[in-house]
Amino acid sequence: MSLRLGDIAPDFEQDSSAGKIRFHQWLGDSWGVLFSHPADFTPVCTTELGFTAKLKDEFARRDVKAIALSVDPVDSHHQWIEDINETQHTVVNFPILADATARCRTSTT
């Protein structure tokens, strides 16, 4: 199955840094940006999530909600959010989904 811009993404329920999320209910009538990252605390991902948090007002003006995905568990996400807030001088204001089955993890072997 592939998705294209403008397609309706499948609904799912998943644990996140903001609690359990049912995607379509969380999204409501807004547009959404779902972006994935290989793991918590990676330098590039940390700056990307920090920059996304800084764009909160721009996203809100366009009725867009951001949500991230990382293969690590929720408790790691909470620690990572603290790190992002401190190092990127922002406040992460969107959920980070936990991929309990690590389906998006790539093999390094």
- Let me know if 104 is a catalytic residue: no
Terminal C-alpha separation, the chain:
26
Rounded to whole angstroms, the Cα distance separating 69 from 71 reads 7
84: left (phi over 0), alpha (psi -120 to 50) or beta: alpha
From the candidates 16, 21, 26, 45, which is the catalytic residue? 45
User: DSSP secondary structure string, 60-109?
Assistant: HHTTEEEEEEESS-HHHHHHHHHHHHHHHTS---S-EEE-TT-TTPPP--
Enumerate the active-site residues: 45
